[in-house]
Amino acid sequence: MIPVTKPFLPPKAELYALLDEVYDRNWLTNSGPLVNLLESEIPKFLNYNGHFSYVNNGTIAIQIAIKALELTGDIITTPFSYVATTSSIVWEGCKPVFVDIEEGSCNIDPRKIEAAITPTTTGILATHVYGNPCDVEAIAAIAKKHNLKVIYDAAHCFGTTYKGKSIFEYGDISTTSFHATKLFHTVEGGALFTNTKAVAHKINYMRNFGHNGQEDFWGIGINGKNSEFHAAMGIANLKHMGQVLEKRKAQWLLYRAQLGKHYDTLDLIDETGFNYSYFPIFFKSEKDLLAKKKLLDDNHIYCRRYFYPSLNTLNYTKTDTILEVSEQRSKTVLTLPLYDKLSEENQFLIVKNILS
């Protein structure tokens, strides 16, 4: 069997040494030493110079970002993303206003954003799809013109750079996921990045119930903390991320060399800074995709329709607006297996089945 992904796991001895420290201290959560260490080491690895806050998952990160920026009313967003991007907007009492995507990059199309702005629009929540950066300059110009806040769902972006800078430098807040399926993971986890000290201050209170000491509260908050056990996995994994990124790049380039002439693949915005986290291919029709997926499933090769469906068709967001590009792309996309221990032999087996 070839699954669509497998988490990278560090050598047991390295992880267990960190867990022994946790047992010795008997300090399991509430901003422990390993959480603090991870919060200092990740920005160094990413060459990120702003404020970094580790939380318990990427969805909570988006929800805290919306609260921290005090967004209300309409939030312009993409229909081509994981459901958490949209559900977080709805969960926070705001309305997602969908804008169609670019066919090549699969990111939100900035040329269509201004037409969707209304007097009740307060922000833009865009996804760097598959770790491929949005047109951040165009989005920043629109936001400045209309006095809007910008959140980037950068769940796929660990290690991604744009024009030599960490992609997390862009927007008022960028969020990410450290879920086990991600290139870098802490089993469960997520983070928020911001260049604004005052926003970071709010985030760090909000992720811990608003506590200001044991008996005082700064304001409203949520349980967004993460534990020493999760941080231990992150610290152990971080030591190996250089080699993981190199392996992922080689795998991604092999797929493109073998399949790029036969299928539409992702148009990269800045290939030198891409982290090669996912390899999607696009079929001519949903019928073609379903036939090929069945063949792959029958041969125990498990790919994923990621992202499907287009989020404007969810039962709690559905509108009469047709978003042609997103709906077409979501019906025809298939992401291929990609993980550290995937062998070249199995990659060629996957290619053979796709081209058969």
pLDDT tens per residue, range 65-78: 999 999 999 999 99
Q: Angle at which helices 286-298 and 324-332 pack, to 10 degrees?
A: 20
pLDDT of residue 246: 97
Q: How many whole angstroms from its chain centre is CA 194?
A: 16
pLDDT of residue 321: 83
pLDDT of residue 209: 85
What residues of the chain score a pLDDT lower than 50?
none
pTM: 0.96
List domains and CATH numbers for the chain. Answer: 12-238 (3.40.640.10), 241-355 (3.90.1150.10)
pLDDT of residue 319: 79
pLDDT of residue 201: 95
pLDDT of residue 214: 75
pLDDT of residue 170: 98
